[in-house]
Amino acid sequence: MTQLDFESYPVSSAQVGHSGPSPEPTIEEAFRRFHAENPHVAQELVRLARQAKRAGATRLGMKMLFEVLRWRHTLRTGGDDFKLNNNYHAYYARLIMSENEDLEGVFETRKLHA
């Protein structure tokens, strides 16, 4: 048997069909959808971050705030299997710092890999 060179047989996009399951959304896409469906999560995180700053904190961890929310509230969230998905820490930190001038720089961020 000879090996086929698929590159030498161009196929138009109309001929290519996707018959399998839909591809999974990226973490960022899933976060954006979750945030749109659950704006109260960001509001609570901002409230907690400001409370910590008033108490003298200069640096905060988003993971810590997630755990505080989990402890204090049984949040009812829609659109995700997890009530608070740990994959969203980095996105919430960036969102909160970009939308709240008083919280700019309070979270340490690293390069996103997703």
Per-residue pLDDT of the chain (114 residues; tens, 9 = 90+): 444 443 443 434 444 455 666 678 899 999 999 999 999 999 999 999 999 999 999 999 999 999 998 888 766 666 666 688 999 999 999 999 999 999 999 998 888 776
The residue extents of the domains of the chain are 25-103
Q: What angle do CA 55, 74, 92 make, to 5 degrees?
A: 55
* Separation between Cα atoms, residue 21 and residue 18, nearest integer Å: 8
Local structure of 60: helix, strand or coil: strand
* Separation between Cα atoms, residue 50 and residue 103, nearest integer Å: 7
The dihedral of CA 5, 8, 13, 15: what is its sign? Answer: negative
DSSP-derived secondary structure letter, 3: P
